[in-house]
Structures are given as structure tokens and as C-alpha cells.
A = this chain, B = another copy of it.
Amino acid sequence: MIAAGLREIVFHANRALAETGLVIGTFGNVSQADRTIGVFVIKPSGIPYDTLTPAHMVPVSLETGEVVDSNLRPSSDTATHLELYRAFGCGGIVHTHSEYATAFAQARVAVRCMGTTHADYFRADVPVTRPLTKEEVGNEYEKNTGLVIVETLRREGLSCNEMAAVLVANHGPFTWGPDAASAIEHAEVLEYLARLEWRMRALAAEAARPDSFLIDKHYLRKHGPDAYYGQK
């Protein structure tokens, strides 16, 4: 069986995602890629979390998008993951319907960068995609969901490192990172930031934005060449 180690990792990442409380029922999935063997592994479609085993995880070719070495049908969101792996240099992807981030996605409202906690992780507002057209929904819907995420980062002028999350309009959040664990961390932090912004808007919807030098200070003390957060 190819990619047995990766199947283990993705299996445990799906368990870990379920334990975050960000998913309800089977709404949500994590994948991780191994570019040396040209595949990513994702969970199968519609199997309850408590009956999953590592052997259920489904490898998919990064080149062809076809299932490799499995008889199971992969998550219905597989074609979305494939487009993100192709466009970004990322190694892990998460999709959830976490409550606050999904509420912003349904309202088509960005999660604004209003404080240092946001800037520690994301360098700008977490953006929302445009709605898909009738043609994009009718034909290759899941692939087009991936393409509109890529288009959104381009529209905002952000790299996939500066912004590791997008809200798909009327759907929910996708996040990514170097591996599945960091994509899960980004999904958790995004949900926390969405809760924070939601509560802040109720207090003072028109509150002044923080100064850009404060945002840069926090982003750059954790990321980039002069970072001084954590151990050397």
C-alpha cells in the first residue's frame, strides 16, 4: 500500500480536527500532500468520524486528480483541495463549517484585522470569494470552488503565506499551511478571530482600525527574517 505513513498522518489529523469542535457530523476534512511521491491523501466521503481507520484514507494523484490504490470515493471536496495544492506551495488543507467563520461566509463579510492577535497569524483581512456563477456551479463545481479561492488571493494581492485562509461565499472557510497540523491550527485561529471580530462589531461596529505599523510589528515579530518570537 503506497503512502501508508501519510494515511496514518491524515487519519490522525481528521481525528484531531473532529476534537477541535470545528466540525459537526461529517462536515469537514483535512488532507496532506507528499510532493516527493506526487499524491495527497484525504478522507473518504460521508463515513462517520468514529468508524474511520487509516486504511480508509484515500490517496489522490496531484498530477491527474485520480484516486490511487483505494476503492473508496474520496471526500466530495477533493477537486477543491487539488486546485489549491496546484496553485499554492502548501502541504496541508482543511475545510470546516465552523460556526463563526461560516456565519461571516454566509454574510459575505470579511473577518477584519482589528488587533494584534489577528496580525500574529494573518497579515490582512480574511477575504470572501465572489459567488460562483450558474455555469461554475453546474459544471465541475468543486474544482471551481478551488479556482475562486485562488482568484480571491490574487484579487487581494496576497501570497498564500501571508493569507492562509479564505471564506467561500455562502459556504465556509478553507485554510492551508505547510502540513495538515498547521492547516488545522489556522482553522482554529480563524474561528477564534471570527468570534472576536463578531463580538467586537456588536460593541462598536465602526471602531477605528489599528495602525498599520502595529499590524506589521506583530506579523513580522513572528514571521520573516527578523522574527524574534519562539526559540532560535
Is the Cβ of B204 less than 8 Å from the Cβ of A198?
no
A204–B205 alpha-carbon span in the complex (Å) = 12
Confirm or deny: A10 has a beta carbon within 8 angstroms of a beta carbon on chain B. Answer: no
Confirm or deny: A99 has a beta carbon within 8 angstroms of a beta carbon on chain B. Answer: yes
Query: Which of B24, B46, B213, B217 has a CB less than 8 Å from the CB of A230?
Result: B46
Is the Cβ of A203 less than 8 Å from the Cβ of B107?
yes
Is the Cβ of A115 less than 8 Å from the Cβ of B171?
yes
Q: Given contacts A72-B231, A108-B207, A211-B131, is CB(A115)–CB(B102) below 8 Å?
A: yes
Q: In the complex, which residues of chain B have a beta carbon less than 8 angstroms from the beta carbon of A116? A: 170-172
Is the Cβ of B25 less than 8 Å from the Cβ of A204?
no
Is the Cβ of B170 less than 8 Å from the Cβ of A210?
yes
Give how many A residues have a beta carbon under 8 Å from the other chain's beta carbons.
Answer: 63
Q: In the complex, which residues of chain B have a beta carbon less than 8 angstroms from the beta carbon of A25? A: 185, 188-189
Q: In the complex, which residues of chain B have a beta carbon less than 8 angstroms from the beta carbon of A106? A: 114-115, 196-197, 200, 207, 210
Q: In the complex, which residues of chain B have a beta carbon less than 8 angstroms from the beta carbon of A213? A: 134, 137-138
Confirm or deny: A88 has a beta carbon within 8 angstroms of a beta carbon on chain B. Answer: no
Confirm or deny: A73 has a beta carbon within 8 angstroms of a beta carbon on chain B. Answer: yes
Q: In the complex, which residues of chain B have a beta carbon less than 8 angstroms from the beta carbon of A97? A: 117
A138–B213 alpha-carbon span in the complex (Å) = 8
What would 23 A/B residue contacts be, using CB atoms closer than 8 Å?
A24-B192, A27-B117, A46-B230, A73-B231, A73-B232, A99-B199, A100-B199, A103-B199, A106-B196, A107-B200, A107-B203, A107-B204, A109-B203, A109-B207, A115-B170, A131-B210, A134-B213, A137-B217, A141-B217, A169-B210, A170-B210, A170-B214, A202-B202
